[in-house]
Chains A and B, each alone.
Chain A
Amino acid sequence: MPRPTATLSPLLRADGSASYTCPSTGCLIMGSVNGPIELPGRRDAQKPEEATLDVLVKPGTAQAGVGEKYVEGILKGLLGRLLLGRETGFPRRGIVMTLVVSGGENGGKVRRGESYLPILPALLHTLLLALLSAAIPMSMTYTATAVAVTSTGEIKGDPSVRDAASAVSFHVLAFSSKGHLLLSQSEGSFDLDLWEQVYEHAYATCRGSQPVTADGDISMIEDASGYNLESFVRKTVEDQIHHDYSWMNNDA
């Protein structure tokens, strides 16, 4: 299983930032988060009860278009449920998140009419890491993965852009750190049984073990090393904290 790589806080001026390389699609995403900040130019952003979320997805080599707006909507909807925008200091202010997509097969360009779903998990992970780096309060963290179902009915995790194009159905699922399903975006034709299999596969990729099946069994199918996406996020953040606080560790 190819593993993603990420760097926390590579940028100096943004409150929080992360760069993330998606192994399956090869795209490199840079994310930054600023918040809470004033948005004086925008009356609509001054909500008296909670913070305004502003997500911008910027393609590497093209003008942003409808596809970007659509994926921004998905990201905003998901984050609106996780970010604690009612904490002190957040109402009437904004949390501004910017994602720049580069690299990948078309140089970070999702062509007009092409789906953003293959890189959606990468966008979600970049945002999560940038938010953690900016110390924005959240109720929980999440992990996301993409699953493609080929014409032979085979379920394929971590699909490349080419796999996604030839897939019969394509799914992106996100799970919270408590195991809830947070997001399910699907394309193509499939039935509920197939979706259940996709769900189990995605759950295992994200959280390591399969959910409890109907007969109460828990079957473990995690990587031999116990690697899953949640442990990846945890490890990345732990490493960064260890690095940041190395000045007070005697052993370092």
Chain B
Amino acid sequence: MSREVPLTTAEHDFIVEALKRNVRLDGRGIDELRPLNISFGDEYGHVKVQLGHTSLIVLMSAEVVKPHSDRPFDGIFTVSLELTNMGSPAWENGRQSDLEQNVTRTLDRVIRHSNALDTETLCIMKGQSCWGIRADVHVTNYDGNLIDCACIGIMTGLQHFRCPDAVVKDGKVSVYSIDERVPIPLNLTHRPLTITFHTFHDGELILMDASRKEELAAEGDMVIALNDAGQVCAVYKTVGRPVGAVDVMRKTSIALQKVQEIKNTIQKALDDDQSKRTRRNVGVEANSANDR
């Protein structure tokens, strides 16, 4: 199973017909995101993201591991996303669904393969030890558009996370805990974010940030990933009716605006959290300009 309960014909028709008049169930515009809310837990890299009713928790962690033998200079970065019964009653525990595979693959392509996190900076000692950074995504409530929500969560987590300091002396690696030495922020080369669209009416209507019901009624999807410099990192069109090149171009420029908006929201959330930490006297010395 692991599939959402399908819409009734009446509900499906209602959504599709309403969209013909540019009306969405929740009253949003065609190119409008649901309200985005980002908050942080006590530890570095504990991010809570809410996009409308879709919500998830991202937990970042770092561990000293042995690098892959074919890439001795590289650290390891993994994204782990496991859909459990918590997010939606339709998801079975311990069984991989198509959605999970699809989301994991897209996130892998957009964040990991575009080298958003510079894994070479994670190297501690060539071929011996490196940091393994892990991003765990826990979906707590699923209401459509998991890809964008998870992407925002992971990118925020990467910017929020601090890695413990590790020093090599006489061929021995020593790792200092967060209390001993100021932890180091990760080195990001760029900040890609995805914007997901869904198509209706033979690809004539292309909708941003579909909710779960809209996703079920849609004909196809399209994912556009852009970074903060405005470069397109990836365009995915996996299922459904074809979309014209002009539409893709048009939607890409709209997606760029949205990516800038999301980037500002993330930055604001990060700044707020930083000032909160400074006030609590935790973040005072958490400044990489600090003399070691």
Contact = CB atoms under 8 A, between A and B. Distances in A.
Contacts of B84: 56, 58, 98, 100
A211 interface: no
A100 B138 contact: yes
A38 B46 CA distance: 34
B87 interface: yes
B43 A11 contact: no
A63 B82 CA distance: 10
B57, B59, B87, most chain A CB atoms within 10 A: B59
A41 interface: yes
A11 B59 contact: no
A109 B1 CA distance: 31
A216 B82 CA distance: 54
Contact of B53 (A12, A61, A100): A12
Which of B42, B87, B93, B141 is packed against the most chain A CB atoms within 10 Å? B93
Nearest to A38: B1
B228 interface: no
Interface of B is mostly: loop
A13 B59 contact: no
A37 interface: yes
Given A61-B61, A102-B59, A102-B138, 7 more contacts: A28-B41, A32-B85, A58-B84, A58-B138, A96-B85, A102-B41, A102-B57
A40 B82 CA distance: 20
Contact of A30 (B2, B80, B136, B140): B140
Given A41-B92, A61-B61, A96-B93, A12 B86 contact: no
Nearest to A96: B85
Contacts of B131: none
Interface string B123-163: 00000000000101010111100000000000000000000
Interface string B73-89: 00000001010111111
Contacts of B89: 13-15, 34, 37, 96
> Which 5 A-B pairs give the minimum distances between C-beta atoms?
A61-B61, A32-B86, A98-B86, A56-B93, A34-B89
Contacts of A157: none
Contacts of A222: none
Contact of A60 (B2, B53, B136, B143): B136
A236 B82 CA distance: 30
A108 interface: yes
A112 to B, nearest CB: 12
A107 interface: yes
B141 to A, nearest CB: 5
B59 A107 contact: yes
Given A28-B41, A56-B94, A103-B42, A61 B136 contact: yes
Contact of A17 (B61, B86, B94, B142): B86
Contacts of B95: 41
A138 interface: no
Interface in B173-227: none
A39 interface: yes
Contact of A14 (B45, B59, B61, B86): B86
Interface in B1-58: 1-2, 41-43, 45-46, 53, 57
A63 B143 CA distance: 25
A212 to B, nearest CB: 42
B105 to A, nearest CB: 19
Nearest to A14: B86
A54 interface: yes
A61 B134 contact: yes
B46 A63 contact: no
Interface centre among B60, B88, B92, B140 (most CB of A within 10 A): B140
Nearest to A97: B85
Nearest to B41: A103
A98 B57 CA distance: 15
Nearest to B42: A103
Interface string B281-292: 000000000000
A127 to B, nearest CB: 13
Interface string A1-39: 000000000011111010000000000101010100111
Given A98-B93, A107-B59, A107-B61, A13 B141 contact: yes
